[in-house]
């Protein structure tokens, strides 16, 4: 759970992440377990980076994005994007689907050794290279992105067009509710 630590685009532990725990609604968790079983046949599993996100964490992201002087993490997390445009480009939102409990950020791992295959960018790289359809990434990364997206779609998740790692359960149980309890 990336935001419970400091290695993230904010460069600090994010408000509301008291422990590195993945919380999801039951339907999202059950669908994700099916994805995991599905991918195992190809020798892959899932590495989960973020699940439920408290509203207070979203507010932390907003404060960080508005502080244009804080560019400590630019080289690693948003090298191609001007911080002033993170909202307009859809990388940071005033309301996050994660706060409804059925959105997850994840990637692949090889079951044989736990290594991560090439996905073209690292998780939370904010920029066009992270778009699922970006053709500047390697053929291997495009195959891996497609494998992940196909497995997620088969089990009821829809992708986000700006982040290869971001998926929301299509029939989420709380589509209009934004929770703010801490992750602990």
Active-site residues, by number, are 163
Exposure string over 34-46, b if 16+ CB within 10 A, otherwise e: ebbeebeeeebbb
Can you list the positions of beta strands (E) in 81-136? 103-110
Question: What are the E-state strand segments in 97-161?
Answer: 103-110, 157-160
Burial 111-141 (b: 16+ CB within 10 A, else e): eeeeeebebbbebbbbbeebbbebeebeeeb
DSSP assignment letter at 29: H
Task: Of 96, 102, 90, 97, give the one whose Cα is nearest residue 156.
Answer: 102
């Amino acid at each position: 759970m990336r935001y419970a630590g400091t290695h993230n685009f904010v460069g600090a532990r994010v408000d509301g992440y008291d422990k590195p725990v993945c919380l999801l609604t039951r339907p999202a968790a059950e669908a994700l377990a099916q994805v995991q079983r599905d991918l195992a046949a190809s020798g892959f599993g899932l590495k989960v980076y973020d699940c439920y996100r408290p509203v207070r964490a979203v507010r932390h992201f907003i404060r960080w994005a508005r502080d244009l002087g804080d560019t400590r993490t630019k080289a690693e997390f948003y090298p191609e994007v001007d911080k002033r445009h993170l909202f307009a480009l859809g990388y940071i939102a005033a309301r996050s689907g994660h706060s409804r409990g059925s959105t997850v950020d994840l990637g692949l791992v090889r079951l044989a050794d736990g290594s991560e295959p090439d996905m073209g960018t690292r998780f939370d790289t904010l920029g066009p290279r992270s778009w699922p359809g970006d053709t500047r990434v390697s053929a291997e990364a495009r195959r891996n992105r497609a494998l992940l997206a196909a497995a997620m779609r088969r089990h009821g998740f829809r992708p986000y067009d700006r982040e290869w790692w971001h998926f929301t359960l299509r029939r989420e149980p709380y589509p209009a509710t934004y929770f703010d309890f801490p992750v602990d």
